[in-house]
């Protein structure tokens, strides 16, 4: 009988040993520290590995351990040197299944024999969970780092845990070593409403800012949209916040360009409508005025022709009527020409043209207009003169048609940088909020469009039953060299 067999029999015959070793619920075994032969195993080992007791005691530890002999020798030497060791490896069960285990081994001496006293713990599920967790962390880290979105994950102390590469590029000004650093140290001088949003996020609230400004260290301004949201630990406590930032500077520029294009199209449409309206007026005047006068002259010439032989005395009367019709026609042509481009504007300048315009309204009895000018020059650029004249003309026509006013006034001032026009009436006024639905809207829109074509502005004040005041400013310097145009 060998020494090992004798030791095993001795151990089996010891009552206390049986109680604390064989019946222990943990998986335990005794292994010869030199040969690696399995000396004894407890009942839990038999249940776990699936061997009978006699089969187990005929095995070497390398028969169930997945490591090779050299690695095992290295571990034996470490345990003999340190007295204990803890290792992870794979053990093969009787049915061939490999399980991940952690082995805690202590060097003991029983009856003069060195033994490895090992406690084996199955950690397969734990290792699988750890590997899944590690993979999930790696995947999350990759997602955070490589996502094309500007993201940052911070802890409760506002220290960086993870960031995307876009965050480094867009927000951190290219600083790559920011993990572990404080957010306030990386981005200096943050506005108070940002700090308040962070604090609300750390208390469980989410915040969104659709438009905000990011000030770069260089002083450059960028438009951003950003969000702050809390993130939670496994025990449902707030672990910190996640920041999302979207750079929208280019989008803002595109929107501004789009809005300008829309505004320009609107202005162009209004300008075209104004031109069409003036064409309709000219066509109406030509048809109703000149057309009828020329037709009447033609009919009278027919009468002259008919009376040449039969009634010579009546020819003189017919010719007088034709002459009167031609005189009226000439005057009508002058009136139409005056409406298109007042000759007085070219001959005498802006102030006489506006004064003449006001006199015309007074003569017709449609409106008592008072006109005053202050420090006005004799001539301005054709562009300025025609716009100022048309604005005054449009305003007076609008007052006659819609305001039910008896009196109006035009005051025009020459300022250093602009011409200021103030037009007032004592009419019924209107509700500014409803101007888009009002019949007066087209006339006021024409005034606004004409002024804005030269970079000017229009301000309107009106109250029901208390008249209207229109204040127009036309800049001078940038328009003094403007080319003439007609509207």
Tell the residue number behind the tokens 């399980």, with chain if given.
99
Q: What pTM value is reported for the model?
A: 0.40
Same-domain pairing of 422 and 441: yes
More confident residue, 152 or 140: 152
Same-domain pairing of 471 and 352: yes
Overall average pLDDT of the 344-360 stretch: 86
Same-domain pairing of 231 and 150: yes
The pair of three-digit structure tokens given for residue 292, joined into one six-digit string: 């009828």
Same-domain pairing of 276 and 237: no
Domain boundary among 340, 357, 378: 340
Give dist(CA 131, CA 265) in Å, integer: 62
- The sign one gets for the Cα dihedral 157, 162, 167, 168 is positive
Tell the residue number behind the tokens 């009002």, with chain if given.
438
Q: Is residue 128 part of a domain?
A: no
Domain boundary among 295, 320, 340: 340
Domain tally for the chain? Answer: 4
Q: Is residue 131 part of a domain?
A: no
Same-domain pairing of 459 and 387: yes
The residues with which 243 forms a beta bridge, in sequence order, are 152, 228
The string of pLDDT tens digits covering residues 190-201 is 889 999 999 999
Backbone phi and psi for residue 451, each to the nearest 5 degrees, phi listed first = -65, -45
Instruction: Find the helix or strand (DSSP H, E) in which 323 lies.
Output: helix 313-340
Q: Is residue 226 part of a domain?
A: yes
Domain boundary among 214, 247, 280: 247
Tell the residue number behind the tokens 């024409």, with chain if given.
446
Note the pLDDT of residue 487. 43
Q: Is it the case that residue 2 has pLDDT exceeding 60? A: no
Same-domain pairing of 241 and 373: no
The string of pLDDT tens digits covering residues 59-94 is 999 999 988 888 989 999 999 999 999 999 999 999
The string of pLDDT tens digits covering residues 288-297 is 666 666 766 7
Residue 187 sits in a domain whose CATH number is 3.30.450.20
Give the residue numbers spanning the domain of 146: 140-247
Overall average pLDDT of the 340-362 stretch: 83
Note the pLDDT of residue 299. 72
- The sign one gets for the Cα dihedral 314, 315, 320, 325 is positive
Same-domain pairing of 93 and 224: no
Q: Is residue 242 part of a domain?
A: yes
Same-domain pairing of 229 and 159: yes
| In contact, 206 and 226? CB cutoff 8 Å | no
Same-domain pairing of 50 and 187: no
The pair of three-digit structure tokens given for residue 309, joined into one six-digit string: 């032989």
Are β-strands 368-374 and 407-414 bridged in parallel, bridged antiparallel, or unpaired?
A: parallel
Q: Is residue 135 part of a domain?
A: no
Query: DSSP E strands: which ranges in 317-450?
Result: 368-374, 407-414, 418-425
The pair of three-digit structure tokens given for residue 454, joined into one six-digit string: 């030269």
Going by pLDDT thresholds of 50, 70 and 90, the confidence category of residue 326 is confident
More confident residue, 30 or 288: 30
The string of pLDDT tens digits covering residues 8-26 is 666 666 666 777 788 888 9
Q: Is residue 72 part of a domain?
A: yes
Q: Is residue 363 part of a domain?
A: yes
Going by pLDDT thresholds of 50, 70 and 90, the confidence category of residue 429 is confident
Same-domain pairing of 287 and 402: no
Q: Is it the case that residue 101 has pLDDT exceeding 90? A: yes
Contacts of 346 (CB under 8 A, 6+ apart): none
Same-domain pairing of 198 and 326: no
Q: Is residue 364 part of a domain?
A: yes
Residue 357 sits in a domain whose CATH number is 3.30.565.10
CA dihedral 233, 237, 240, 242 (to 10 degrees): 70
Same-domain pairing of 369 and 485: yes
């Amino acid at each position: 009988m060998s020494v090992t067999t004798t030791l095993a029999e001795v151990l089996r015959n010891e009552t206390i040993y049986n109680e604390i070793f064989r019946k222990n619920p943990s998986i335990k075994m005794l292994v010869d520290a030199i040969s690696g032969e399995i000396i004894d195993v407890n009942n839990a080992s038999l249940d776990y590995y699936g061997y009978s007791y006699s089969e187990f005691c005929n095995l070497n530890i390398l028969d169930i351990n997945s490591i090779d002999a050299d690695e095992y020798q290295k571990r034996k030497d470490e345990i003999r040197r340190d007295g204990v060791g803890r290792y992870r490896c794979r053990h093969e069960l009787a049915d061939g299944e490999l399980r991940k285990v952690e082995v805690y081994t202590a060097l003991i001496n029983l009856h003069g024999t060195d033994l490895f006293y090992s406690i084996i713990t199955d950690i397969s599920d734990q290792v699988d969970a750890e590997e899944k967790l590690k993979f999930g962390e790696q995947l999350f880290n990759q997602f955070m780092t490589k996502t094309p979105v500007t993201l940052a994950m911070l802890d409760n102390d506002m220290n960086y845990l993870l960031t995307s590469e876009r965050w480094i590029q867009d927000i951190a000004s290219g600083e790559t070593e920011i993990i572990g650093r404080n957010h306030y140290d990386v981005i200096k001088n943050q506005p108070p409403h940002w700090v308040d949003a962070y604090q609300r996020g750390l208390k469980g609230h989410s915040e969104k800012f659709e438009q905000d400004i990011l000030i770069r260290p260089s002083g450059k301004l960028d438009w951003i949209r950003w969000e702050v949201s809390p993130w939670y630990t496994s025990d449902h406590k707030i672990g910190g916040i996640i920041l999302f930032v979207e750079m929208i500077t280019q989008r803002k520029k595109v929107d501004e360009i789009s809005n300008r294009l829309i505004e320009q199209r609107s202005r162009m449409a209004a300008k075209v409508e104004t031109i069409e309206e003036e064409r309709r007026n000219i066509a109406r005047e030509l048809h109703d005025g000149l057309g009828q006068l020329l037709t009447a002259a033609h009919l009278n010439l027919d009468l002259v022709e008919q009376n040449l032989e039969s009634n010579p005395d009546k020819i003189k009367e017919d010719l007088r009527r034709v002459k009167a019709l031609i005189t009226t026609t000439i005057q009508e042509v002058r009136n139409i020409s005056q409406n298109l481009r007042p000759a007085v504007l070219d001959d005498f300048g802006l102030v006489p043209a506006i004064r003449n315009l006001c006199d015309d309204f007074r003569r017709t009895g449609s409106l008592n207009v008072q006109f005053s000018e202050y420090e006005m020059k004799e001539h301005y650029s054709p562009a300025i003169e025609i716009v100022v004249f048309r604005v005054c003309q449009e305003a007076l026509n609008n007052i006659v048609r819609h305001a039910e006013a008896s009196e109006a006034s035009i005051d025009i001032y020459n300022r250093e940088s602009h011409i200021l026009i103030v037009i007032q009436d004592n009419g019924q006024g209107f509700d500014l909020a409803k101007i888009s639905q009002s019949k007066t809207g087209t006339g006021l829109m024409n005034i606004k469009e004409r002024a804005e074509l030269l970079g000017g502005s229009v301000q309107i004040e009106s109250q029901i039953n208390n008249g209207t005041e229109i204040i127009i400013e036309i800049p001078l310097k940038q328009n003094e060299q403007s080319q003439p145009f007609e509207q």
